[in-house]
Each structure stands twice: as structure tokens, then as C-alpha cells.
Amino acid sequence: MKISGIIEESIVDGPGIRFVIFFQGCTHNCYKCHNPETHDINKGKEMSVDEIINKIKNVPLTDGVTLSGGDPLMQIDDCLELCKKIKKELNLNIIVYTGYTYEQIIKMTKPQYKELFNYIDYLIDGPFIYDLLDLSLKYKGSSNQRIIDIKQTLQEGKIITSDL
Ligand code: SF4
């Protein structure tokens, strides 16, 4: 998969000490995006799922993994495989950022999008909307974005948000 960068120990991308993977590639084109260098899918570094898993294993204090970008869902097959392995081999909690909304994702025809929800804990969804910028928000850039508790959402059949 194409990766823009990795931060091995972050305290700003979710609770605890998190291993953060920035995926390369995004077509949402949000006005005043913070990471424009991640947009071009032809840039970035090619890495395998196992390479990333091994890197996570080398950071023993990791509380969880955050997939950011770019948009991880634009490389859904690799994103899914990576999340499956993180759960199976490391049993860490997973947060995924995406510029798509939850409602858009569940309508996507490729089954891998919905399958991803079986392996992640939280989805932070929606594009960054500059007019709704709110610097006081934890883990979010604009107030339209939601932290969705995926396990609760699947159990209850309706969107359940979380403050983490
Ligand atoms: S989804 Fe994220 S990376 Fe993509 S354009 Fe919007 S803010 Fe930038």
C-alpha cells in the first residue's frame, strides 16, 4: 500500500500512545486541508502489511493504532488486511479517519468497506469543512465530523457517537 508517513508514538491522534499510519491518496479535496501532500496516490512510499505490522510490534508501549491520511479507505483492500492483522496478531484498538461519512460507506457496493467495520473500534468520519473549523474539538478538525463507536453502532443498528 502507499503510505505517506508513520508516527510511532503519538498522543494527539486518539487516546493513549498511538501508532499512526498516514495513508497516501485522497480525492476529497477539502478546502484548507492540513495534509495536501498526501493527496497524490502516485507519491508516498510503498509498504507491505507485514512491514507495518512488524514496525508496530517494535513499539511495545503502543495502546492503539490510528489510520489517517490522506484517506485510508481509498486503499480499502490493504486497509482491511492491515486492520485484520492488527486485531489478530496484536489485539490493539483501531481508529480510522476518513473523509467519507458513515452513511456513504454503508452504501458502497464493494463489500470490503462494510467488512472493515468488523475490525475497527472507532471511525472519525466526514470531510474537513473549513467553515465548521473548531479548534476546541478533540481529535476532530470541524464540527461536522463524528467519532463513531463502531461496535455499539453495529449492535444497536443506529449511529452511536463517542467522546473517546
Ligand atoms: S479527507 Fe482529510 S486528507 Fe483528504 S482532503 Fe479532506 S482533510 Fe485533506
Tens-binned pLDDT, residue by residue, of the chain (164 aa): 999 999 999 999 999 999 999 999 999 999 999 999 999 999 999 999 999 999 999 999 999 999 999 999 999 999 999 999 999 999 999 999 999 999 999 999 999 999 999 999 999 999 999 999 999 999 999 999 999 999 999 999 999 999 98
What pLDDT score does 151 carry? 97
| pLDDT number for residue 70 | 96
Q: Which of 41, 3, 16, 37 has its CA nearest to residue 122?
A: 16
- Phi, psi torsion values for 17, nearest 5 degrees: -90, 120
* Cβ–Cβ under 8 Å, residues 49 and 85: yes
45 bridge partner residues: 3
For a mutational test of ligand 1's pocket, the pick from 128, 131, 142, i.e. the residue with the most ligand atoms closer than 8 A to its C-beta, is 128
In contact, 134 and 126? CB cutoff 8 Å:
no
What pLDDT is recorded for position 63?
97
Residues at CB less than 6 angstroms from ligand 1: 26, 28-30, 33, 35, 38, 69-71, 99, 127-128
Angle between helix axes 76-85 and 49-57 (nearest 10 degrees) is 40
pLDDT of residue 8: 98
* Ranges of each domain in the chain: 2-156
Q: Which CATH number fits domain 2-156: 3.20.20.70, 3.30.70.20, 3.40.710.10, 3.40.50.300?
A: 3.20.20.70
| CA 87 – CA 78 distance, rounded (Å) | 14
Q: Which residues contact 91 (CB under 8 A, 6 or more apart)?
A: none
Residue 112 CA, ligand 1 centroid: distance in Å: 21
Output the pTM of the full model.
Answer: 0.97
Chain position carrying cell 486503499: 75
- The residue assigned the cell 454503508 is 106
The residues, any chain, with a CB within 8 Å of residue 109's CB and separated by 6 or more, are none
Neighbours of 64 (CB within 10 A): 20
Whose C-alpha lies nearest to ligand 1, atom 1? 99
119 and 90 in contact (C-beta within 8 Å)?
A: no
